[in-house]
Amino acid sequence: MPRPPLLRTKPLSTNRRRTILKAGGTLLLSVFAPLSASAAQILAVRVWPAEDYTRVTLENDGDLKATHFMVPDPPRLVVDIDGLALNDTLKSLVAKIESNDPYIKQVRVGQNRPNVVRLVFDLKEAVKPQVFTLEPVAGYRHRLIFDLYPMKPADPLAALIQERDWTTGDAAPQSQSGAPEAIGKLETQAAGANGTPPAAPVKPTPAPAEPRMACCNMPKVTRMVTIALDPGHGGEDPGATGASGVHEKDIVLAVARRLKAKLEGHPNTRVMLTRDADYFVPLGTRVDKARKVQADLFVSIHADAFVERSARGSSVFVLSEKGASSSAARWLANDQNKADLIGGVNLANHDRQLASVLLDLSTTAQISDSLKLGSAVLKEIGGINRLHRGAVEQAGFAVLKAPDIPSILVETAFISNPEEEARLKDDAYQDQLADAITKGIKRYFAANPPMAKSRMA
């Protein structure tokens, strides 16, 4: 059978082939471009575990919408994120969950359906989740936040009491120098005047006596003194960053830990840290924690940064009701008050009214006592570092607004100054700072002994 004739085609010209290929490529782009444009990209994932709560942050290049629900027995948090494509950065979240996380056992990540990613948090216990978004601020892009809180919020006072076996007797631990001090023990120098003998003989010390917490015209009072130390920033809020890359949040936490150990080396003194690890604490929560433990003092610790690297020196600030004492103090207060924006506060649960009430309730007496405390601490710090200004400054720092607690903010040094940054990183200098602040607090109590409280833990 004869074969049918072959169909011969004329070869395409080079220009015609280019036209067809270009048209085909345009068609493919038109089909897939809407899909790729609608999918946000995860830029970074971070996990901040702490006893107070665990925070998980997804930083992305666009605003994300998420829904979530809890599944009991075993407890799980399920989160569906719309408009998101699974990528390696998001997958890395699995490896970021640490075994010591108080609330998260593990996390599973998967593409639940097109443009929807599902996260499943396997939990160690039931939690109260808060899921919210944050607008771009500072160096951050859009953030999707998961805060996992315990069902029963932590009680700062209960935690403080359980931390150790507190004692109110003279057998309490001695300070590192060996000199017996009783920061919280008020003892009249003439106890025999009212017929009450002293509880125990006082042994003379060979070294010159440091300021004691005593008042000549008061009856003997023995009680615990509680000091709240507030290491600034933390977690999503790094604070200022030095030229070498060291963060303010890490420096001030190290100083606060040293200061806590030194203060607790004295009898009748206990110390609460508003944060004891690298996590974010809102400004109002820091104040609230101090009030819940009935703190006698509140000391917030920071490290300055300024646009000019030549700026240097230590400072102490207290609250002002009438405006800042200088333009620099005003600038610094405004900068520090941005912590909630950078650290990330859930505005749905943020009590703005409470914050304004705290300022309204701040009394002249509180500010007066704060100035006395600040002057005592500033004098001691001046012995180890140059002072940026020779007097205590005032400005509207949100973290100093406890109406009933003398409160100061210590700027230890300028982390933006290379020389001072190097000192702040040095263990010996951190120890000197802690010593100086301790001596300042003792000096303050020597002249302003704490009164007996009707409420005692």
Instruction: State the residue for tokens 């802690």.
Output: 434
Q: What is the pLDDT of residues 59-79, one digit of tens each?
A: 999 989 999 999 999 999 999
Where the chain has pLDDT below 70, the residues are: 1-39, 165-222, 307, 323-326, 329, 350-362, 452-457
What does the domain layout of the chain look like in residue ranges?
A: 42-150, 156-447
CA 317 to chain centre: 18
- Predicted local confidence at residue 144, as pLDDT: 96
Q: What is the pLDDT of residues 343-399, one digit of tens each?
A: 998 877 766 545 554 555 557 888 999 999 999 999 999 999 999 888 999 888 888
- Predicted local confidence at residue 326, as pLDDT: 64
Separation CA 415–CA 433 (nearest Å)? 14
Q: Kindly report the CA angle at 45 between 42 and 47, in degrees rounded to 5?
A: 155
C-alpha distances in Å from residue 99, one per residue of 69, 114, 150, 248, 375: 24, 32, 17, 27, 45
Domains 42-150 and 156-447 share a fold: no
Separation CA 82–CA 189 (nearest Å)? 71
Of the candidates 270, 260, 304, the residue with the CA atom closest to the CA atom of residue 424: 304
CB 51 within 8 A of CB 162: no
- Predicted local confidence at residue 60, as pLDDT: 94
CB 401 within 8 A of CB 358: yes
- Predicted local confidence at residue 390, as pLDDT: 87
Architecture label for domain 42-150? Sandwich (2.60)
156-447 folds as: Aminopeptidase (3.40.630)
Separation CA 80–CA 67 (nearest Å)? 5
CB 104 within 8 A of CB 147: no
